[in-house]
Amino acid sequence: MTSVCKKLKLQSHETGDDCNCKRLKCFQQVSETERSFLLSRFNLLCNNNEQNSHLTSLITVNNIRPRRPRQDEDRAALHDASYRYRVRVKRNEKMVEVPVCAKAFASIYGVTRGKIEYIQKSLKSTGQSPQDARGTHKNRPRKISQQTLNKIDAHVKSFKGRTSHYSMEKTSKIYLPEELNVTKMFNMFKEANSDVTISYETYRTAFKKFNISFGYPRSDTCSICDKFLAEMKALEQRTETSETEKRKLTVLNDIHKKKAQEFYNRKRNAKAKAKSNIEYEAIAMDFQKNVPLPNITTNDVYYKRQLSMYSFNIHILSTGRSAFYTYPETVAKKGSNDVVSFLYHFAYNILDERVNHFEIFCDSAGGQNKNYLVFKFIHYLVHHRKRFNSVKITFPIRGHSYMECDKKF
């Protein structure tokens, strides 16, 4: 939060009022468009040191000519240097330096007179731009040590989370149980490290570095995977646990996951092949869950019978395009006859006529995809209608059927 505030402060300079300078006529010499461009470039500088360096390069120090003060030398406020200011603007494809007064200089860059005097003092004493020393000192008695930060990191990493069921291994986000939260984790850290004194905000700031959320976003989970987790948890709670039993369960679960991964590997290969071969196409298809109509929040809805809206999606893997077949329950159902109708329409109205080899990826729903009617229809397309030379259907392991259709839904 502190770094964001510093960044906003650096970029918040605004042009001030006209200097009304009669000698240089600064705001007339530098147009509004040029002033806006100078300020925008100044606001893009990364830190105070860069902004100070830029302003310093536009200020020139001159020695004071001999003169006689009107007052006594003891009371006169004598200056030992004079300063000239300029801005660089681009005109006719050339960089031009335009002299301006001190008031116009501060107004164009949106800085205060104190900032200009701060730079003048550094120029007069060292000849260089001032360096911002804030935050660079070493006398910070309340600074959190690196050892304490390492303990916090180790404590956060000690919690065993799991990835999303629908992540498809494209995210590193970890989910912890929903009964946990940052406050409970902080209290657990204090109990385990009574010798370390830190605030809740320090722990929360360190926790934010990790890509962690609470709650398991899992639905339609695999029964075999859930059984494995339950059995492993039961073995860990037993006082006497055989390592052989754990190893056996782990091996069986690994084999199950490899079989499930094979479905995604085949789909990935089919997608790559469809992109390179015009005569080959692969699709993923699935039904969306029923959407009740009307979609209102009135509590009477729970006591009324609503109209169900069905949606069937066919996702073309080679192009990423989708065909949606949407209809209410009064028009048709969600059975194998409907799936065959959608495939027939897709094959003869949407699919490229040059496609001879067709591959389908879908779940193993018996009443919709995995049945004799669908297989007979495919046989009809290949052997009777001669629409395809070959059609292949790949069914996933149950519980591991997340596809592009789910993203579309």
DSSP annotation string for 253-322: HHHHHHHHHHHHHHHHHHHHHHHH-TTEEEEEEEEPPPEEES----GGGGGS--EEEEEEEEEETTT--E
Q: What percent of the chain has pLDDT over 70?
A: 87
Give the closest residue to 315 by CA, choosing from 402, 187, 193. Answer: 402
Helix (H, G, I), strand (E, B) or coil at 57: coil
Q: What is the mean pLDDT of residues 294-322?
A: 85
pLDDT at 18 over 80: yes
Residue 286, pLDDT > 90, answer yes
Q: What number is the average pLDDT over the span 132-136?
A: 74
pLDDT band for position 63 (cuts 50, 70, 90):
confident
**Averaged pLDDT of the chain:** 85
Q: Which residue has the higher pLDDT, 303 or 361?
A: 361
Mean local confidence (pLDDT), 160-184? 72
Range of lowest pLDDT (135-139, 196-200, 202-206):
135-139
Q: Residue 170: pLDDT above 70?
A: no
Higher pLDDT, 98 or 142: 98
Q: In the predicted model, is pLDDT for residue 276 greater than 60?
A: yes
Q: Residue 229's pLDDT is what?
A: 80
Q: What is the per-residue pLDDT for 219?
A: 53
Residues 159 and 185 sit within 8 Å (Cβ to Cβ): yes
Q: Which range, of 110-119, 184-193, 234-243, averages the lowest pLDDT?
A: 234-243
- Report cis status (omega within 30 of 0) of the bond before 141: no
Beta partners for residue 392, in sequence order: 359
Question: Pick from 355, 395, 353: which is nearest to 374 by CA?
Answer: 395
Tell me the mean pLDDT in the region 317-329. Answer: 94
The predicted pLDDT at position 8 comes to 63
Q: Report residue 168's pLDDT band, with 50, 70 and 90 as the boundaries.
A: very low
21, exposed or middle or buried, with CB in 10 Å at 0-12, 13-18, 19+? middle
Check whether 148 has a pLDDT greater than 80.
yes
The CA-atom distances, in angstroms, between 4 and each of 1, 111, 137, 387 are: 5, 20, 21, 61
Digit-coded pLDDT (tens) for 345-364: 999 999 999 999 999 999 98
Q: Quick one: average pLDDT of 233-251?
A: 79
Q: What is the pLDDT of residue 295?
A: 78
pLDDT (average), residues 270-277: 94
Higher pLDDT residue, 204 or 213? Answer: 204
Q: Give pLDDT, residue 134.
A: 75
Q: 358-393, pLDDT tens digit by residue?
A: 999 999 888 999 999 999 999 999 999 999 999 999
Taking 70 as the threshold, does the pLDDT of residue 306 lie above it? Answer: yes
Q: 345 vs 134, which has greater pLDDT?
A: 345
- Here the tokens at position 366 are 């018996």
**pLDDT at 137 exceeding the cut of 90:** no
